[in-house]
Amino acid sequence: MKKIALITFIILLIDQVSKFYVKTHFHLGESLDVIPGFKLTFVENPGMAYGFHFGGLIGKYFLVIVRVFLIGGMVYLFGKWLKQRASNYLLLPMAMIFAGAIGNLIDGMFYGLIFDSGTVYDESIGRWIEYGGISQVTEFGTGYADFMKGCVVDMLHFPLVDWHVPEKWPLIGGTHVEFFKYIFNVADSAITMGAALLLIFRKKAFPHGFDL
């Protein structure tokens, strides 16, 4: 249990500190080159990991509820697996996924309540509206959106290929080629790495098959 708690705490700490820093020091859309192939680029995501979203506010509420049930289910499973003395090959990757899910849930549920500005949904036109300036922490409950209407902060950007095709090239001249274009956060990374580790070590993680 201590290992699960420690991994969860460390990931959540890094995730939330990085989000608070970027949210309160970067303009939305601002990008800072760190090293070749790695940038800090501040975007806000109203939906799932890696910038995916759907369904406006209804879709957002759905995702928050799904995350709450997922986290609750994982708490139950951790209790069961610990009693069964499950392998660290199972517990540690699941702890990473658990922490990542909590990290993004915090943003969606509470960031609208504690920051004075952020991306909001305009129901009259059916789309998300961005903002200018730099956000500041405000009195709880007086932020830019109501409970469960906050947006997830993303900043990790790895454009390993970022190239404009020369105009003189036939057919594709002037095209912008970027790989990897998705912008994500520490919580997304933890979920992805945890899932990858479970896949790689699945035989050790589930020596008797997947049994809930």
Catalytic residue among 107, 162, 188, 211: 188
* 162 given a catalytic annotation: no
* 188 given a catalytic annotation: yes
Catalytic residue among 15, 116, 154, 162: 154
Residues 6+ apart with CB under 8 A from 102: 8, 12, 71, 187
Instruction: Please give the distance of CA 102 from its chain centroid, rounded to a whole number.
Output: 10
Q: What are the contacts of 166-169 at 24+ separation with CB within 8 A?
A: none
**Which position has the token pair 């997947």?**
210
Q: What are phi and psi of 103, to 5 degrees?
A: -55, -50
75: helix, strand or coil? helix
Residue 206 tokens, joined: 């589930």
31: helix, strand or coil? strand
The set of catalytic residues is 154, 188
